[in-house]
Amino acid sequence: MQANEYQTLAARTIATNDTKTMCDHAMMGMVAEMGELFGLYQKVYQGHDFDEDHAKKELGDLLWMIAEYCTSMGWYLADIMTMNIEKLKARYPDGFDPEKSLHRQDGDI
């Protein structure tokens, strides 16, 4: 599945057309879904087995929230993905380098 196709299909289940409400919901949802994913790792310390299938579902929910945020902003998910890869290629042209991580150039966020 392509990123923009996913975004379009995910948008079918957005509960509002109001972009401010949609943006707020997506922001809160991203944090909540990260918390749910993190909770699966925390349970390992309590003796639970790591539930890989559950983690994948929570990651899918996080992706849905990211797509909702992009939709609320009028952005295409594929464009955000491309921008991120271009940033990483410029920062780490030969792969990850701790020195380049520690000493970024001005404007490299």
Domain residues for the domain of 30 are: 3-75
17: in domain: yes
81 domain residue, yes or no: no
Residues 6+ apart with CB under 8 A from 66: 26, 30, 77
Number of domains in the chain: 1
* 53 within a domain of the structure (yes/no): yes
Quick: pLDDT tens for 26-35.
999 999 999 9
In this prediction the pTM is 0.91
- Per-residue model confidence as pLDDT tens digits over 7-45: 999 999 999 999 999 999 999 999 999 999 999 999 999
CA distance 17 to 86: 32
Q: Judge whether 109 lies within some domain.
A: no
Check residue 36 and give its pLDDT.
97
DSSP 8-class letter at 29:
H
